[in-house]
Amino acid sequence: MLLSIRSLTKTFPGTLALDGVDFDLRAGEVHALLGENGAGKSTLIKCLTGAYRRDGGTVALEGAQIDPRSTVEAQDLGIGTVYQEVNLLPNLTVAQNLMFGREPRRFGLIDARATRSEARAMLRQYGLDLDVDRDLGSYSVAIQQIIAIARAVALSGKVLILDEPTASLDAAEVQMVFDVVRGLRDRGLGIVFVSHFLDQVFDLTDRVTVLRNGRRITTLDTADLDRVQLIEHMLGRALEDAVGDAAADGAGSVRPELLSFQGFGRRGVIEPFDLSVGQGEVVGLAGLLGSGRTETAELMFGVRPAQTGKAHDANGQLDLSNPRAAIAQGFGFAPEDRKTDGIVPDLSIRENIILGLQAQRGWARPIPRAEQNRLADDYIRRLDIRTSGREKPIGELSGGNQQKAVLARWLAMNPRFLILDEPTRGIDVGAHAEILRLIRELTDAGMSVLVISSEIDELVAVADRVIVVRDRRHVAELKGTRLGGDEIMRAIADSGEVA
C-alpha cells in the first residue's frame, strides 16, 4: 500500500470536519474521492498536503509515518498537488515554472540554457513539445494544467493529488489531461482524483471512496459501480424524492399574469423580447454562456436599463431603470457569481441575510437586533443552512450553504418576482436538489421565479416554461409536452423553427 490513512480526525471550531476517516491508495491506481460540498474532501486533502495539521489518526507513506507541516514538506516527502486554479506563475516562462527552485546553476548563477533543455526533456515525457521560453500565461489552461502536473510529479513523484483539475476545461482538453494522468498511473504513481463530474470519475478512475459529513461511507471498484448507486452513497437518500415532478404539474394550467415585458431590449446586449410571467410560475431561461441569458435578467432588473420596450403589471407600467427601482417593484436578483456579486464573505450569515432588507428600509431605520436574530434563525432553519451559528462569517460556509443564504436575503424582502442566475453553480448534488425543491416551495406560495441555468435537466425539472436564448435573441418557448431535454438542446443548437 502506497499511502494508508487510518482514523484521520480534524475538527474546526464548531464542526467535526473529518471523523475517523480511513483511506488507502495503491501504487498505480487512480482513486476518486467523492462527496458533497462539506463532506470533508478538501479537508482530507489539506491534511495530506500539510496545509492543515490533523488532530488525530495516522498517515503512512510507504509504511513510514508522516506528518507534513507545509506543502513544501509534503512535496519533499513525495506528495504533490495540482489544484483547480493553476498554481503556477503566468508571468514566468514555462521553463522557469517547471524548474523553479531547482534551476541548474553555474558559478552561482542560473544556467538558462540548461534550465531550458531540462524543462524540454521533462515535457517530452508527456508528449508536449512547447516553446519553453514563452510565458506560461500564453498557453491554454489545459497545457498549463499538464505543466503543473509535470512539475508536481518531478518534485514529489509518489502521490499525485488532483483537486478538481478539469473544472475549467472543455471535453477535448479533459481527454488530453486524462491521457497524461493515465500515463502516470502506468508509471506506478498513486493518484487521488477529486471531481464533481461523475462522467469523468467513471472514465478515469479505478476505485472510488465516498465521503459524507466527514465520514467515509464506502470504497468500491469503479467497474462494479453504477451511477444511481454512487449518487445514493453521496447523498445518503434517493434522488427522486429530492427533485419532484414539477414539469408535469405546471403543464397546461393557466395562471393569472403577474408581469409582462413588451419589446424589452438594449442595442448590442439583447434584441427586444416579449415575455410574460404568471403568478407562481417558474420560467426557465436556457442557452449557452454568452447567448444573452444573463443579459435578459440584467435588463429586467435594471442592472443595464432597457432602451426599448415597457414592463407592466396589473396596476400599470413599471419603472425598471435601475436595480433600486426594480427592488422597489418587488423584484429580486441573485447573480451568477456568488463570490463577487452575491455575498460579503467577512460579514456573518445574519448580516448577509438582513443586508437587502436593511437597504430597503434605509439606514436611518435600523432593524432591531432581536428582529435580525429572529429573521436569521428563521431562514437558517427554513432553508436548512448548515452552520454552527448565525454569527459565523459567510465565507466559511460551503458553496451550497452560501447560495441558500443569498436566497434567504431575497426571501427576507418578500419579493413577488425573483431572478436566479445559475442558482446551483458550483454546489454539490444534494444542495442542488434542495435548492430546486425550495424554488418549488416558493412558487407554491405564490412567488414567480425566473431561473437561468446551463443545466438543461435542471430546467426541465423545475420550470413550467423554458425560454431558449441564442445569439442574443429569444428564439423559442417550450412548455407542456414540448418541454424536455432534447427539445431544449435542439432549440439551443438549431435555428428558430422549433418555436
Partner 1 sequence: MNTRALPLYATIAIFLIAYLLCWLQFPNILSTRVIGNLLTDNAYLGIVAVGMTLVILSGGIDLSVGSVIAFSGVFIAVMLRDTGLHPLVVFAILLAITTAFGAAMGFLIDRLAMPAFIVTLAGMFLARGAAYMLSIDSVPIQHPFFKTLQSAYYLMPGKGRLTLIGVLMILTVVAGMIIAHRTRFGLSVYALGGGEQTARLMGVRQGRTTMLVYGFSGLMAGLSGIVFSVYTGSGYSLATVGTELTAIAAVVIGGTLLSGGAGYMFGTLVGVLTMGLIQTYIVFDGSLSSWWTKIVIGILLLVFILLQKGLLKLSRTRLA
Judged by CB under 8 A, does residue 89 bind partner 1? yes
The residue from 1, 110, 121, 238 that contacts partner 1 (CB under 8 A) is 110
313 closest CA partner among 372, 257, 391, 262: 257
If you ran DSSP here, which 8-state letter would residue 348 be given?
A: B
Closer residue to partner 1, CB minimum distance, 161 or 451: 161
The residue from 14, 56, 90, 446 that contacts partner 1 (CB under 8 A) is 90
Least spacing, CB of residue 74 vs partner 1, in Å: 11
Q: Which three cell numbers stand for residue 206?
A: 479505478
Contacting range for partner 1; rule: CB under 8 A; set: 100-108, 169-177, 248-256, 441-449: 100-108
Judged by CB under 8 A, does residue 87 bind partner 1? yes
Judged by CB under 8 A, does residue 88 bind partner 1? yes
Helices (H) and strands (E) in the chain, counts: 18, 22
Report the distance separating Cα 142 and Cα 124, nearest Å: 16
Report the distance separating Cα 14 and Cα 343, nearest Å: 22
Judged by CB under 8 A, does residue 134 bind partner 1? yes
Tell which positions 214-233 bind partner 1, by CB under 8 A: none
Contacting range for partner 1; rule: CB under 8 A; set: 29-37, 92-100, 319-327, 375-383: 92-100
Tell which positions 44-83 bind partner 1, by CB under 8 A: 71-72, 75
Judged by CB under 8 A, does residue 135 bind partner 1? yes
Least spacing, CB of residue 25 vs partner 1, in Å: 22
Looking only at the bridges linking them, the beta strands covering 473-479 and 417-421 are: unpaired
CA distances to 142, 338, 460 from 284, in Å: 32, 19, 8
DSSP string, 91-155: TSBHHHHHHTT---EETTEE-HHHHHHHHHHHHHTTT----TTSBGGGS-HHHHHHHHHHHHHHH
282 closest CA partner among 469, 466, 480: 466
Site map (CB under 8 A) of partner 1, residues 239-258, x = contact = --------------------
Q: Which three cell numbers stand for residue 79?
A: 506528495
Contacting range for partner 1; rule: CB under 8 A; set: 59-67, 132-140, 292-300, 349-357: 132-140
Least spacing, CB of residue 285 vs partner 1, in Å: 24
Q: What is the CA radius of gyration of the chain?
A: 25
Tell which positions 421-460 bind partner 1, by CB under 8 A: none
Residues that bind partner 1 (CB under 8 A): 71-72, 75, 87-93, 96, 100-101, 103, 105, 108-110, 112, 133-135, 137-138, 140
